[in-house]
Amino acid sequence: MIAKAGSASLFFAFLLFPACLTSSIPFDALKQATVTAILERSDGDCNEIISQLTSEKCFDDTVVLTSGDDHFFIPLMARNTPDCFDFAAYSGAFSSMSAGFEEAQAQLFKAGTIVTDAKYVTYTVAPEAELFLETDDIGCSTINALKAGNVGNAKYPGVDVSPEDVEEWKKVIADNIDMLEEKYGSQESANGEGVFSFKSIVLLILVLVGAIFGVMSVFL
């Protein structure tokens, strides 16, 4: 019985291995992305974490670009302050968590910050996207009101993004894509093409240890 448990743990370890790798920035999708929403930070929460990340106003207003299921949350200030791209985030599709709520797990462009977890949550009852940030010590959330467009299941009634916004951000991305790929693509290569998250490493170690002890018990 113990041997079977060990074998099962080893099997699950192999299944978990690919999932323990964080995804890399989908630059090809970013090149094709178009503006679908503009967000405006509407409260002062998360200042404790944000102030440790940057002294610039990179979290004040956010432009959401979308390509298929890929979403990019780009600080408006990145147009003129390229360092703000550090705090751009990317995610896959929003998924329904419960009635009226949708969530997208996100990752910052810049690796190795104090942020250990980030996600956006949207609501059908309010035109806003709530950003949740966590570090090893604290967690917080900050409300980003929709100024135009839609994101997740949130929509600003009657106000869409303008054609001028769409064209402007196509140019911003086109003008910066080489820098973005060099800066943030190289950090992925330096860390390995897929970086282990801390939580995933701990989970994988626990499963592997259980598998090893289960297999060893056969010979003891």
Task: Taking residues 171-189, report their average pLDDT.
Answer: 88
Asked if pLDDT for residue 95 goes beyond 80, the answer is yes
**Contacts (Cβ under 8 Å, ≥6 apart) of 108:** 86, 87, 88, 89, 115, 118
What percentage of residues in the chain have a pLDDT greater than 90? 66
d(CA 186, CA 10): 33
177: amino acid identity, one letter: I
d(CA 72, CA 70): 7
204 or 82, greater pLDDT = 82
pLDDT in tens, 118-140: 999 999 999 999 999 999 999 99
Task: Looking at mean pLDDT, say which of 13-27, 156-170, 181-195, 198-212 comes out highest.
Answer: 156-170
**Contacts (Cβ under 8 Å, ≥6 apart) of 41:** 59, 60, 61, 62, 142, 143, 144, 145
Q: What dihedral angle (degrees, nearest 10) is formed by the CA atoms of 58, 27, 113, 22?
A: 140
Please give the distance of CA 128 from its chain centroid, rounded to a whole number.
Answer: 17
Helix axes 198-216 and 2-19, enclosed angle (nearest 10):
160
Average pLDDT, the chain: 82
Task: Taking residues 180-202, report their average pLDDT.
Answer: 58
User: What pLDDT is stored for residue 97 in this prediction?
Assistant: 86
pTM of the model: 0.77
User: What pLDDT is stored for residue 208 in this prediction?
Assistant: 61
What is the dihedral sign for C-alpha 84, 85, 87, 88? Answer: positive
User: What pLDDT is stored for residue 191 in this prediction?
Assistant: 39
User: What pLDDT is stored for residue 151 in this prediction?
Assistant: 96
12 or 167, greater pLDDT = 167
97 or 5, greater pLDDT = 97
